[in-house]
Structure 1
Amino acid sequence: MTTKLEALELALRTALGEGAAISVALGEVTVVVKAAGYIAAMQTLRDHPALKFEQLLDLCGVDYSTYGEGTWDGARFAAVSHLLSIEHNWRVRVRVFAEDDDTPVLASVVELWRSANWYEREAFDLYGILFEGHNDLRRILTDYGFIGHPFRKDFPMSGYVEMRYDPEQKRVIYQAVTIEPREIIPRVIREETYGMNPGSKNLG
């Protein structure tokens, strides 16, 4: 008897053909598509009667530069979406990699799912992924004057600039980070009797 997961995998392979790599792990189906065929694949996922993924639940950026403890040799940036079909009651994960690591660009899916609007803005803000066709691609979580993209693996923990109130100028200003980078080693205190009931010391 065919399980629901197997039925979904078959429907995906039939609808998407050779243009997608489909895998099943931990009870979830993941579809990996190439950037050039991203919009066509997403439209198929939404409109094909055997799939009907009407809702985009989430879209986020991913930086694979340190994935697998540095053994990753594929493209650096990807957008990962989670789609839901209410009609068929199933979900799928879609991953697409940007072809250029220096300037990652992917097509926007806002025209297919309006919910992608703020998700794509977040991926742009935090990872620097540009979504071509997005009509309002600007930062959404960081400040307007923020420099860089804070979820990139090479972004410094202290950032590039800091913000403070300047009493002379009577306004908030930005300046270069003055925090000295340092490594903090936590102090560990070990006690032989830690966690023992005080009344149990004399037992035995």
Structure 2
Amino acid sequence: MPVTPEVLLTRLQDALGDKLVDGRVALGEVTIEVRAEDWHEVALQLRDESGLRFDELIDLCGMDYSTYAETGRDEGRYAVVMHLLSVVRNHRLRVRTWCPDDDLPMVASVVDVWNCANWFEREAFDLVGIVFEGHPDLRRILTDYGFIGHPFRKDFPVYGQVEMRYDPEQKRVIYQPVSIDPREVNPRIVREENFGDVGHG
């Protein structure tokens, strides 16, 4: 029988001690935050601690919180978030850490803890630009090797920076500046009070 989120949070507080920076229960789910320097050690504890036994990594992603500045948060711009499942204990957990350096966001790899983290970390590296120290093969996974930038960063241009096409004269793929003119598309909003009124468009 699964434990309640409150009991799970208490177990996490007891097991992790001062490595636990923050922990909360919201919408029936437990979320904890740890420091980047404790990321790998905490991952091992979460997997091996008998009361926790998070034996499966469901997801891992990189996040760009640059647009959260107006909320008064003190943390950095980039974070890594993973979702864990304990098949044995039947409970779930969200774990987040903040990258200490915005210029070179980096945390330790957890591939040796959960092997499936390999492609998740490569995706976070490719799309957000987070480096996973100790990863056995950290390279792009979704964009091509000549791609410049990280498309999930909030400051990446919507239309990209270059486009590629096949040139029949050169008989190869070439890169060129984006030929799409930037424009802003505002969706038409239908207000309930004017719905169906032809006179109001």
TM-score (norm 2): 0.89
Give the deviation of 1:74 after TM superposition.
1.7
- The one-letter amino acid of 1:19's match is K
Q: Kindly provide the CA deviation profile for residues 129-186 of structure 1, in whole angstroms up to 9, marking residues without a partner as x.
A: 0000001101111111111000000000011111112222122111122222122345
Aligned-residue offset at 1:11:
0.7
Q: Which residue of 1 aligns with 2:5?
A: 5
Q: How do 1:1-80 residues align onto structure 2 when only pairs under 5 Å count?
A: 4-20=4-20, 21-67=22-68, 69=70, 71-80=72-81
Change (3 A) 1:15 1:189: closer
**1:201 maps to which residue?**
none
Q: Deviations over 1:85-107 (max 9, x none)?
A: 11110000000111000100110
Gaps of 5+ in 1: 196-204
Show structure 2 runs of 5+ residues with no match. Answer: none
Letter in 2 for 1:102: D
The total of aligned residue pairs comes to 193
Deviations 1:60-115 (A, max 9, x none): 01000002656444211011000111111000000011100010011000000001
Distance, in Å, in 2 between the alignment partners of 1:33 and 1:175 is: 43
In terms of Rg, which structure is larger? 1
Query: More helix by proportion, 1 or 2?
Result: 2
1:101 matched residue in structure 2: 102
Cα deviations across residues 23-75 of structure 1 (Å, max 9, x unaligned)?
11111101100011111111110000010000111000100000265644421
State TM-score, norm by structure 1.
Answer: 0.88
| Rounded Cα–Cα distance in structure 2 between residues aligned with 1:11 and 1:168 | 66
* Contact 1:66/1:72 (<8 A) preserved: no
How many angstroms apart in 2 are the aligned matches of 1:113 and 1:106? 15
Deviates more, 1:174-183 or 1:124-133: 174-183
- Letter of the 1:4 partner, please give it: T
Q: Which runs of 4 or more aligned residues in structure 1 lie more than 4 Å from their structure 2 counterparts after TM superposition?
A: 68-71, 186-190
- Superposed CA RMSD: 2.1
Contact 1:80–1:96 at 8 Å: present in 2 too? yes
Task: Give percent identity, aligned residues only.
Answer: 59
Residue in 2 that maps onto 1:159: 160
